């Protein structure tokens, strides 16, 4: 069930990527990388405490 959902999400993500232009893609990539950095900072902060 969960795996099926995952592949559906990936498929729609790929579709979304191919529809969007390069500038929007770059923006999405930046947003995703910022989110990853924030998550890393939060986990480091939790580890310190």
Examine residue 49 and state whether it is found in any structural domain, yes or no: yes
Examine residue 47 and state whether it is found in any structural domain, yes or no: yes
Give the pLDDT confidence score for residue 48 in this predicted structure: 86
Q: What is the residue range of 41's domain? A: 21-49
Quick: pLDDT tens for 1-49.
456 655 666 666 666 666 656 667 778 788 888 899 999 999 988 888 7
Examine residue 30 and state whether it is found in any structural domain, yes or no: yes
Examine residue 13 and state whether it is found in any structural domain, yes or no: no
Examine residue 27 and state whether it is found in any structural domain, yes or no: yes
Examine residue 44 and state whether it is found in any structural domain, yes or no: yes
- Cβ atoms of 25 and 17 closer than 8 Å: yes
Cα angle vertex 9, ends 6, 10, to 5°? 85
Examine residue 29 and state whether it is found in any structural domain, yes or no: yes
CA distance 29 to 26: 5
Q: How many domains does the chain have?
A: 1
Q: Record the pTM.
A: 0.46
């Amino acid at each position: 069930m969960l795996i099926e959902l995952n592949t559906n999400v990936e498929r729609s993500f790929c579709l979304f990527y191919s529809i969007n232009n390069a500038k929007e893609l770059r923006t999405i990539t930046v947003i995703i990388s910022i989110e990853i950095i924030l998550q890393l900072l939060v986990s480091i902060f939790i580890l310190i405490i």
